[in-house]
Chain A
Amino acid sequence: MEQTIEQVVRYIYPFTALVGQENMKLALILNAINPKLAGVLIRGEKGTAKSTAVRALAALLPDNQVVAGCLFGCNPDDITTMCISCRERLQGGKELDRAKRKMRVVELPVSATEDRVVGTLDLEEAIKKGEKRFEPGVLAEANRGILYVDEVNLLDDHLVDVLLDSAAMGVNTVEREGVSFTHPANFMLVGTMNPEEGELRPQLLDRFGLCVQIEGILDPGQRVDVIRRRVAFEEDPAKFCSDWEPEQEKLRQRIIAAKKMLPGVQVPDKMLYLIAEIAIEMGVDGHRADLIMMKAAKTMAALQGREEVGEEDIRTTADLALVHRMRRKPFQDLDLDQQKLEDIMGGPSHRHLHAHAHKHEW
């Protein structure tokens, strides 16, 4: 077992080698292309490759351009999201040194303390020099990376509040333990949960851009694949990774291409009306669902290499944006009325199957 962990650290299981769970993979890829999609909540049983997928995704993604030496890994080309010190340097006419940084996955353990999450007073600095300095926490580390919260529904309420706050604003404001500090905290929030252990508060649910419900794979053929690949990986990770490298590279290129294409993707008014209608008819709270549906459809179009959003894009992605935003009564399961969604989209109900079949193709 020890050895396995070591291997995993060096070699990360390739994203493209993951079997099944198409919805989850799609949601993750869409987020990788468009960080404004605000994260993914993965609901499902244990042992369904949730955290493997998240790590694999990070390994697949291209490196970030960062300001060299910046604690928060600011983007040198985007003044709107910079930390104060980078912004001041730039505005003072200074050139910002650049560096490359791997896409990070920062894990927030359920037992994390608040000071570690938001940051706190730097102990060493205080004792040695008698000076007050901010010691960045998990939120700072996660800036421009992935913040992964396993079992997010078991997180303490007060930590959830903190997450909500920064996730919403992309900024972490610290006013505690003698320090006062603000820094950017734009991260892709990926949470996993097992609904049997309790639900998330609706407010937090809403903050996850997309949501997928996953189950263990039932198809025997696929299950065998899962085992075979896993065994092959564990026996010779180097070979396994290199075998999969062509696939990985293909997907990587697709993501890069989609990223480039995304800003130019048009959303015809007709499609916007369809989205608004879906949101109204399905009875969701607020406007976040509309925005996310649109962004998801747009990103989907970019992934497919199309310059205009079509009904298919909405069809494939709408449920990802809707399932966790439906108004529901206590004790009611999180569920999406697929039939109703289909009716709104005006398609005959059997097209529902097509939508799913389609998902496997991306």
Chain B
Amino acid sequence: MQNRRRFVYPFTALLGQEKMKKALLLNAVNPRLGGVLIRGEKGTAKSTAVRSMAALLPEVPVIAGCPYQCDPFQPGKLCINCKAKYNGELPPFIWRRVQVIDLPVSATEDRVVGSLDFEYAVKHGGRRFEPGLLARANRGVLYVDEVNLLDDHLVDLLLDAAALGVNFVEREGISYSHPAEFILVGTMNPEEGELRPQLIDRFGLCVQIEGETDPTMRVEIIKRREAFDQDPLGFLGKWSEEEEKVRQEIMTARHLLAEVTMTPELEELVTQICTEALVAGHRADLVMVACARTLAAFYGRKEVSESDLHEAAEYVLPHRTREPSPPLQEPEPPEPGEPDEPEETEDEQEQEQQQQQPPEMQENAQEEQDQSPQKAPPQGVPEIVFAVGEPFPVRRISYKVKGILRRGSGRRSRGQTATKSGRYVRSTRRWERQDLAFDATLRAAAPYQKRRRRDGVAVVIELDDLREKVREKRVGNFLLFVVDASGSMGAQQRMVEAKGAILSLLLDAYQKRDRVGMVAFRGEEAEVILPPTNSVERAQKLLEELPTGGRTPLSAGLMKSYEVARAHLYKDPDIRPLLIIISDGKANVSLGEERPLAEAIRAAEMIRDEERFKSLVVDVENSGFLSLGLAQQLAEAMGAEYYKLDDLKADRLVEAVHDVLEA
């Protein structure tokens, strides 16, 4: 396990990305800074930097043989074993480099927090705790690559441990706790989704990085990387002197750190800066002071200067500032007057963030930046104009924080799945799906092996031991658009507006990785123009080309969509279809003998009776003196949410869909 050293590109040979490098070095100097979050586009040496930082970390005294790397000089922080064993004496210790522990995105809970030692239990019949990653990370660096892709459940575990500095384990008949103080380093590409605000706040520092734009720099980057790829050992040798120099600098700064002082005036300045930045809580103040002191030590000074503070602010504030901060595209502030401590609100913020920070928007925003020096969006809502061959622009959507708890839709909403697909995160005693969690079952059976009759095998498993996998899957929604393409839709730009509305929903679906399908009806019949697919792109293309004209076979459209949704449900029972009917309700063709409207109402009732469907009717009829209100009747029969296109426009529609999905 100790031989995990990899041949990674040397830290000092990294070019550019000065802020990222400094943030990492500062953490190496002062482990109390609370880690760093590196956000940046793909291919900017994020992971390389973190992994190569391991070689620069200082050596620390560690109690020999302790799985938690206890500090021999900190009697108060010893683990239970060490406490019992050394009882006041100075334990034997070794010097060891601070470790960078990888938390892979495929990790399961048992390996993160630790679990029952299965081998020991089988052989000796006793229960013993087997330390997990949090134990290994104690006094070290815990590195989570693609931290925004980590399962929510594991994120919660990390948060708990990070907050307390202790890992409490209560599972599989084991009750144990051990110190777990670690520097949390995470890298992420914001294109892939945002982090929860609670987790973001845990990171002491945050840097945002981009690719270099200077050709000379880029050329040098290529050269060095190629030199490394061709001869890693030689390259490492060439840079070893430089590495040693930085290592020494870190050591010097570490020693100096304890002596660095700060004047009361500057302390006041800290609070002032933090207040102005509207940060939540006090963590920012504390981290900023620590960061400024570390910077001073790093520069070889014993006193913090004002410039240190301003520099510190660049690392401490970006992810905490609650005012829109254009260069970083940070989360929007919550609605003014909204308190933000309760759990629910946090969740909403998360929601809000997810919805306001989809990757595409950031791209758009970035492009905007490229062209002009970025007009800061007015407080509140970013307005992004988006036109895709449509004669009118569709506004992007604002999400108001409401007093209800919202679960996100799409790929960010993780449902526990009933099928055997999805990621195995933990196990349960409930035995329903025959989905054996073998490791957990073994652990459950292990302690009893001494007592059971074993015929030639080492482990006898009884029914009672069986454990089942709890799997999580990022489930998207299935949005089935049922579009009225009849002649009446052509009047007064109705279709243009309806298309705009659908487009805004498609855009939302694209960001959430929802599945979409489309049924159109006109003339005599309904047609599935897009079978359920993940390719929102195709839906968009088909929508653009969708012709209008002819009569309105509404009931045919409804029946067809009923079939499509049913078939989909059969295939994927985890995903509840949402039918979005866009029509004026003026049915004038029927399938059978009945009057068109009556038939449509009957079809609507069928949809209502299928409990697993959700539905939403968008009425495109002009409101006014002559309006018939047929679509409203339809919505009532269907038990659907009802909206008028006039009230909605594109921007409210997306919100309406979310409301239905979350109801």
Smallest CB–CB gap between A269 and chain B, Å?
A: 7
Kindly list chain A residues whose C-beta atoms are within 8 Å of the C-beta of B51: 169
A256-274 residues with Cβ-Cβ distance < 8 A to B are 263, 267, 269, 272-273
- Are B225 and A127 interface neighbours, CB within 8 A? no
Task: Tell me, yes or no, whether A329 is within 8 Å of chain B by CB.
Answer: yes
Contact string against B for A residues 106-139, beta-carbon threshold 8 Å, 1 for contact and 0 otherwise: 0000000111001011010011111110000000
Contact of B411 among A157, A180, A289 (CB under 8 A): A157
Which chain B residue shows the least CB distance to A333? B537
Kindly list chain B residues whose C-beta atoms are within 8 Å of the C-beta of A128: 457-458
Kindly list chain A residues whose C-beta atoms are within 8 Å of the C-beta of B47: 168-169
A65-120 residues with Cβ-Cβ distance < 8 A to B are 79-81, 84, 87-88, 113-115, 118, 120
Kindly list chain A residues whose C-beta atoms are within 8 Å of the C-beta of B443: 178
A129 and B449 alpha carbons, distance in the complex (Å): 12
Kindly list chain B residues whose C-beta atoms are within 8 Å of the C-beta of A290: 218, 221-222
Smallest CB–CB gap between A180 and chain B, Å?
A: 6
Task: Tell me, yes or no, whether B535 is within 8 Å of chain A by CB.
Answer: yes
Contact of B538 among A132, A196, A284, A295 (CB under 8 A): A196
Contact of A202 among B191, B212, B229, B458 (CB under 8 A): B191
Kindly list chain B residues whose C-beta atoms are within 8 Å of the C-beta of A168: 47, 145
- Are B115 and A178 interface neighbours, CB within 8 A? yes
Which chain B residue shows the least CB distance to A207? B42
The verdict on A201 contacting B192 (CB below 8 Å), with A178-B115, A285-B42, A294-B226 known, is yes
Kindly list chain A residues whose C-beta atoms are within 8 Å of the C-beta of B366: 327
- Are A287 and B106 interface neighbours, CB within 8 A? no
- Are A178 and B442 interface neighbours, CB within 8 A? yes
Contact string against A for B residues 188-205, beta-carbon threshold 8 Å, 1 for contact and 0 otherwise: 010110000000000000
Kindly list chain B residues whose C-beta atoms are within 8 Å of the C-beta of A203: 42, 146, 189, 191-192
Chain A residues touching B, majority SS:
helix
A179 and B511 alpha carbons, distance in the complex (Å): 35
A127 and B438 alpha carbons, distance in the complex (Å): 10
Task: Tell me, yes or no, whether B45 is within 8 Å of chain A by CB.
Answer: yes
- Are A126 and B118 interface neighbours, CB within 8 A? yes
- Are A269 and B219 interface neighbours, CB within 8 A? yes
A131 and B457 alpha carbons, distance in the complex (Å): 11
A131 and B230 alpha carbons, distance in the complex (Å): 41
Kindly list chain B residues whose C-beta atoms are within 8 Å of the C-beta of A272: 219, 222-223
Contact string against B for A residues 269-288, beta-carbon threshold 8 Å, 1 for contact and 0 otherwise: 10011011101100011111
A235 and B218 alpha carbons, distance in the complex (Å): 54
Task: Tell me, yes or no, whether A19 is within 8 Å of chain B by CB.
Answer: no
Task: Tell me, yes or no, whether A318 is within 8 Å of chain B by CB.
Answer: no
Contact string against A for B residues 331-350, beta-carbon threshold 8 Å, 1 for contact and 0 otherwise: 00000000000000000000
- Are A330 and B104 interface neighbours, CB within 8 A? no
Which chain A residue shows the least CB distance to B108? A176
- Are B537 and A331 interface neighbours, CB within 8 A? yes
The verdict on A197 contacting B122 (CB below 8 Å), with A177-B424, A273-B215, A285-B43 known, is no
Which chain A residue shows the least CB distance to B534? A198
- Are B6 and A279 interface neighbours, CB within 8 A? no
Task: Tell me, yes or no, whether A206 is within 8 Å of chain B by CB.
Answer: yes
Chain-B contact segment, one of A159-167, A214-222, A346-354? A159-167
- Are B363 and A327 interface neighbours, CB within 8 A? yes
Interface residues on B, range: 35 or more
Task: Tell me, yes or no, whether A174 is within 8 Å of chain B by CB.
Answer: yes
Contact string against B for A residues 316-335, beta-carbon threshold 8 Å, 1 for contact and 0 otherwise: 00000000000111110100
- Are A331 and B510 interface neighbours, CB within 8 A? yes
Task: Tell me, yes or no, whether B111 is within 8 Å of chain A by CB.
Answer: yes
Task: Tell me, yes or no, whether A10 is within 8 Å of chain B by CB.
Answer: no
Kindly list chain B residues whose C-beta atoms are within 8 Å of the C-beta of A130: 118-119, 122-123, 446, 449, 458-459
Kindly list chain A residues whose C-beta atoms are within 8 Å of the C-beta of B401: none
A197 and B102 alpha carbons, distance in the complex (Å): 34
Task: Tell me, yes or no, whether B647 is within 8 Å of chain A by CB.
Answer: no
The residue in B213, B221, B229, B439 that gathers the most chain A C-beta atoms within 10 A of its C-beta is B439
B366-405 residues with Cβ-Cβ distance < 8 A to A are 366-367, 388
Which chain B residue shows the least CB distance to A168? B47
Task: Tell me, yes or no, whether A175 is within 8 Å of chain B by CB.
Answer: yes
- Are B424 and A114 interface neighbours, CB within 8 A? yes
Interface residues on A, range: 35 or more
A329 and B540 alpha carbons, distance in the complex (Å): 13
Kindly list chain B residues whose C-beta atoms are within 8 Å of the C-beta of A120: 438
Kindly list chain A residues whose C-beta atoms are within 8 Å of the C-beta of B535: 195-199
The verdict on A131 contacting B119 (CB below 8 Å), with A272-B222, A291-B222 known, is yes
A26 and B487 alpha carbons, distance in the complex (Å): 52
Which chain A residue shows the least CB distance to B46? A286
Contact of B388 among A176, A288, A331 (CB under 8 A): A331
Smallest CB–CB gap between B154 and chain A, Å?
A: 10
- Are A329 and B364 interface neighbours, CB within 8 A? yes
A206 and B43 alpha carbons, distance in the complex (Å): 8
A298-331 residues with Cβ-Cβ distance < 8 A to B are 298, 327-331
The verdict on A176 contacting B105 (CB below 8 Å), with A276-B215, A286-B44 known, is no
A267 and B227 alpha carbons, distance in the complex (Å): 12
Contact of B424 among A131, A176, A275, A294 (CB under 8 A): A176
Contact of B442 among A81, A126, A161, A331 (CB under 8 A): A126
- Are A286 and B41 interface neighbours, CB within 8 A? yes
- Are B534 and A132 interface neighbours, CB within 8 A? no
Task: Tell me, yes or no, whether B646 is within 8 Å of chain A by CB.
Answer: no
Smallest CB–CB gap between A213 and chain B, Å?
A: 15
Smallest CB–CB gap between A290 and chain B, Å?
A: 5
Task: Tell me, yes or no, whether B566 is within 8 Å of chain A by CB.
Answer: no
- Are A118 and B439 interface neighbours, CB within 8 A? no
The residue in B222, B438, B449 that gathers the most chain A C-beta atoms within 10 A of its C-beta is B222
A118 and B107 alpha carbons, distance in the complex (Å): 10
The residue in A113, A284, A287 that gathers the most chain B C-beta atoms within 10 A of its C-beta is A287
Task: Tell me, yes or no, whether A152 is within 8 Å of chain B by CB.
Answer: no
Task: Tell me, yes or no, whether B494 is within 8 Å of chain A by CB.
Answer: no
The residue in B146, B218, B449 that gathers the most chain A C-beta atoms within 10 A of its C-beta is B218
A273 and B40 alpha carbons, distance in the complex (Å): 24
- Are A289 and B105 interface neighbours, CB within 8 A? no
Kindly list chain A residues whose C-beta atoms are within 8 Å of the C-beta of B149: 161
Task: Tell me, yes or no, whether B83 is within 8 Å of chain A by CB.
Answer: no
A179 and B3 alpha carbons, distance in the complex (Å): 17
- Are A80 and B7 interface neighbours, CB within 8 A? yes
The verdict on A177 contacting B438 (CB below 8 Å), with A132-B119, A161-B146, A162-B105 known, is yes
Which chain A residue shows the least CB distance to B149? A161
Contact of A329 among B213, B360, B536 (CB under 8 A): B360
Contact string against A for B residues 531-552, beta-carbon threshold 8 Å, 1 for contact and 0 otherwise: 0011111101100000000000
A290 and B388 alpha carbons, distance in the complex (Å): 31
Which chain A residue shows the least CB distance to B421? A156
- Are A127 and B119 interface neighbours, CB within 8 A? no
- Are A80 and B232 interface neighbours, CB within 8 A? yes
- Are A123 and B103 interface neighbours, CB within 8 A? no
Task: Tell me, yes or no, whether B269 is within 8 Å of chain A by CB.
Answer: no
- Are B388 and A289 interface neighbours, CB within 8 A? no
Kindly list chain A residues whose C-beta atoms are within 8 Å of the C-beta of B591: none
Task: Tell me, yes or no, whether A58 is within 8 Å of chain B by CB.
Answer: no
Q: List 19 A-B contacts (CB under 8 A).
A: A121-B438, A121-B439, A126-B442, A128-B458, A130-B119, A132-B119, A164-B146, A169-B6, A169-B51, A173-B102, A174-B106, A175-B104, A175-B108, A202-B359, A206-B43, A285-B42, A287-B45, A290-B218, A330-B507
List 11 other contacts, CB 8 Å, given A127-B457, A286-B211, A287-B212: A121-B438, A126-B118, A175-B108, A177-B437, A201-B191, A203-B192, A289-B43, A295-B226, A329-B363, A330-B507, A331-B388
**Interface set of B (CB-CB < 8 Å, partner A):** 1, 3-4, 6-7, 40-45, 47, 51, 102-108, 110-112, 115, 118-119, 122-123, 132-133, 145-146, 149, 189, 191-192, 211-213, 215-216, 218-219, 221-223, 225-226, 229-230, 232-233, 359-360, 363-364, 366-367, 388, 411, 421-424, 437-439, 442-443, 446, 449, 457-459, 461, 473-474, 507, 510-511, 513, 533-538, 540-541
Q: What are the 6 tightest A-B residue pairs by CB atom distance, in nearest-first order?
A: A286-B43, A130-B458, A288-B43, A130-B122, A198-B534, A276-B218
